[in-house]
Structure 1
Amino acid sequence: MSTLAEIEAQIAELEEANENLHDSLDSAESMDDAEAIEFFGSLEERDEAIEAWEAAIQSNLEQIAELEG
């Protein structure tokens, strides 16, 4: 059984990870097509990265909810 401090630390880590993921997501979504191709290699790669970041954010939110529950 985890202590309250351990649970709070896990939640803080997940929240920080989500902040970083949101920053990456915002950056990718704000790129025009030329920037996205230069950075990601293709628009498809950008779209896949966006989907992966969105899934990771959702997973982190679910983990936070479990820890808080």
Structure 2
Amino acid sequence: MRSCEENYNMVIENMKIVDDPENLKCTCPNTLCVWHGRCRECVAIHRYHEDHVPECFQLIFNSKGEKR
């Protein structure tokens, strides 16, 4: 469990990450998708329909599996 100070420092670090426009670019290769660049809405739709994860998440999961 994190201390209050550790949690605060993590929040500050995460805010810096989110403030960088480079980190907010959509990484999904499906650029023709209506939801491309609108990641929050895309994830919400996939969750609602209990559909497979979006393509951009598949890239993340596949790369983590390859490192093992």
**TM-score, scaled to structure 2:** 0.29
Higher helix share: 1
**TM-score, scaled to structure 1:** 0.29
